[in-house]
Amino acid sequence: METPSTPDEAEPATDFFKPFFTFILFLSLMACTNSGKKPGKEQALLRSDTGYITDEKKPFVNAKKKNSKPKKKIYLTFDDGPNKGTKNVLDIVQDENIPVTFFIVGEHVFASQGQRHNWNRLKAADNIEICNHSYTHAHNRYDRFYELPETVVKDMVKTRDSLLPETNIVRAPGRNSWRIDSLRYTDIKKSKLAMDSLQKAGFIVMGWDLEWHYDHKTFQTQNTADEMLTMIDSAFAKKRMRYPNNLVLLAHDQVYHSSADSLQLRTFIQKLKTRDDYELALVSAYPTIRKHQSITDTVRAVAPATDTVKPIKTDTL
């Protein structure tokens, strides 16, 4: 019959193995110390070769922290070109090498040789996206224009078919309305049916979150570059935007025709570029548009253009 072992019986066994365990522990400690030392020497050599003098872990941790924080996106958009200000805007954004989106008015492309030339420059430029801002700009008579949703759709289709077959991103003239999947906003309710019709016809309607205002009589900006930067910071801080951490900024080409306002634009861009927390992007990269494009690329079907839209004379807003 087996007798259960008692604590008294176990004690001697522990005493017997104690020196053995101590020896194993000593060996393990030596092994750990050595395995830690060898790479340490290599790291020290690497650091001395590359000029690093601090703990190797620190730069890695800092880099990880820096990269893990996503940047806030700003979409810089210019409306109503090509017109007298387009050349200056294009020169500046090309010099500064930033991505910019132009929402153009179809009829302005054909209004003069100079504007045609600017249109060709826009098309040839790198880092530039061109989107649709209608054909007639409603002749600046918005209430009447939006009373007829079918005419609004035809006006967009005309610019798309004649100039911009590659994009279905539009901005409604004189209205800050949005139709991107479930992102829907109508600033003036009378235009609701027209905006719905644009979306039904396959267009993505993009408004804006913040505007660089200008005097509509003198065509001079009403905000300096510094004021715009403050307004942008405030919009992000107060989350005044349709989609979190993505701000669409509206400006107008024509305003930057003057050298004083051109300088403000250049200053604004240069200061924005120094900000590590912001990143400029093209509107096709706007979160809901990217998602929408992948869904609807294959189902774009818009009615053909007609000639029912009368042309306007020149580069009005």
| Residues binding Zn ion (CB under 5 A) | 79-80, 173
Q: Which is nearer to Zn ion, 79 or 315 (CB)?
A: 79
To Zn ion, the closest distance from the beta carbon of 171 in angstroms equals 7
Q: Which is nearer to Zn ion, 142 or 278 (CB)?
A: 142
Q: Which is nearer to Zn ion, 217 or 238 (CB)?
A: 217
To Zn ion, the closest distance from the beta carbon of 49 in angstroms equals 59
To Zn ion, the closest distance from the beta carbon of 133 in angstroms equals 6
Q: Which is nearer to Zn ion, 236 or 315 (CB)?
A: 315
**Nearest residue to the partner Zn ion, using Cβ:** 79
Q: Which is nearer to Zn ion, 72 or 77 (CB)?
A: 77
Assess contact for 307 and 125: CB atoms under 8 A: no
Q: Which is nearer to Zn ion, 52 or 142 (CB)?
A: 142
To Zn ion, the closest distance from the beta carbon of 104 in angstroms equals 10
To Zn ion, the closest distance from the beta carbon of 265 in angstroms equals 18
Assess contact for 279 and 74: CB atoms under 8 A: yes
To Zn ion, the closest distance from the beta carbon of 231 in angstroms equals 20
